[in-house]
Amino acid sequence: MQPILDFLDAAKQAAAGQDIADILDEEYQRLSPQDAEPLERWQKMKNELLQADPAGIQEMRVYHAAQFASISIPALMRELFRIHAALVIRSDATIVSQFGPALRSAEGLIELYLAGAELREPSSDKRN
């Protein structure tokens, strides 16, 4: 479960980092031209503040490790994919809005797994 927990932490950090970057960009836009740093210098300062790009190679590594670690729990794999898609596809509001529910669902599935509950896919079979 540790690779999955690592991915969830990375996802939370990436989402928070994006929110902070958006706020910083909005503030930069509000500055008057004489008060604003040149755009290139501003981008460098912002990247240093956010410690470069949190959604880069490391995030992909932890995502793939989490996918392999969750291979025996299809429901968890599905939620990890939804989290990852929301981080990558920020231009689609519907996908981005799935981040929070998918994160809570994944955390709930992990809690069930760690508590020893048997995780099953919902059955399409309606027999009793």
| Per-domain boundaries in the chain | 2-114
Find, among 13, 4, 5, 22, the residue nearest to 90 by Cα: 22
Amino acid 113: pLDDT: 87
Name the pLDDT band for 128 (thresholds 50, 70, 90).
Answer: very low
% helix / strand / coil in the chain, to the nearest 5? Answer: 70, 0, 30
- As a whole number, the mean pLDDT across the chain is 82
- Kindly tell me if the per-residue pLDDT of 108 is higher than 90: yes
Dihedral (CA of 72, 103, 54, 6) sign = negative
User: Does 118 or 4 have the greater pLDDT score?
Assistant: 4
**pLDDT per residue as tens digits for the range 11-61:** 888 888 777 878 888 887 887 877 777 878 877 777 777 765 555 677 788
Strands (E), the chain: none
Looking at residue 77, its pLDDT comes to 93
How does residue 84 score in pLDDT terms, banded at 50, 70 and 90?
very high
Cα–Cα distance between 31 and 82 in angstroms, integer? Answer: 36
Please compute Rg for the chain using Cα positions: 19
